[in-house]
Amino acid sequence: MYNRVYGMEPSSPHSEREWILIGIAECCAAKGYEATTVDDVCAAAGVSRESFDRVFAGKDECLGAAMETAVEEAWRALESVLAPGKRWADVVRDGAVALLGMLAARPALAHLALVEAPLAGGRAAVLHESGRAALLDFLELGREQAAEPGVPASVARGALAGAEALVLRQLTAGEAGRLGELAPDVVYMLTVPFLGVDEAGRLAGGAARRRHLRAVA
């Protein structure tokens, strides 16, 4: 089960804490956070309840820690994209490819971060909203690159909401492993309000090529 979802073997040298975080992601993907119990997480992680209680005060704290892992993975995926002096449009394109590729490689973690965390409240929801706010702040820089002046401030929020809806539809359809295929559509949706149809289309084509290169690498 772990190998299928995370590309890990149970014999990998992970700590009990790491296996518990893997376990809660697995359980959330399978039955949702509300229906998941601590005993479910322990069974999925292959640890005892005593081991869980030594690490986490409860299910909410465990979910928050798993969300922290998701945020760390996201920033790690974006590190090579955020080069000084890089064009805003190129960062959007390469960032979408990198982030969607990371989520596709970790479908249970993607489901936890994007489907369960926003509804769970607590630390997990705060981290989700903070990450979303950071993405929105960056998208709003696109107004400075706009092909035409006077782009409304609300455009970035609408573009991000549209891209989120596309990703969530893929997740809820059980096709998280194919999230990388959405990169061209996501890039187009995020940039067309600022750059226009022609430039957004060129970027989307570039995103398709980069997605293919990542897939065969």
188-203 per-position pLDDT tens digit = 999 999 999 999 999 9
The DSSP secondary structure of the chain, one letter per residue, reads -HHHHHS--TTS---HHHHHHHHHHHHHHHH-TTT--HHHHHHHHT--HHHHHHH-SSHHHHHHHHHHHHHHHHHHHHTTT--TT--HHHHHHHHHHHHHHHHHH-HHHHHIIIIIHHHH-HHHHHHHHHHHHHHHHHHHGGGGG-SSS---THHHHHHHHHHHHHHHHHHHTT-GGGGGGGHHHHHHHHHHHHHHHHHHHHHHHHHHHHHHHHHH-
- According to the model, what pLDDT value does residue 166 have? 95
pTM value? 0.84
Mean pLDDT of the chain: 88
72-95 per-position pLDDT tens digit = 999 999 988 888 888 999 999 999
What domains appear along the chain, each with residue ranges and CATH number?
2-216 (1.10.357.10)
Residue % of the chain over a pLDDT of 70: 90
14-41 per-position pLDDT tens digit = 689 999 999 999 999 999 999 999 999 9
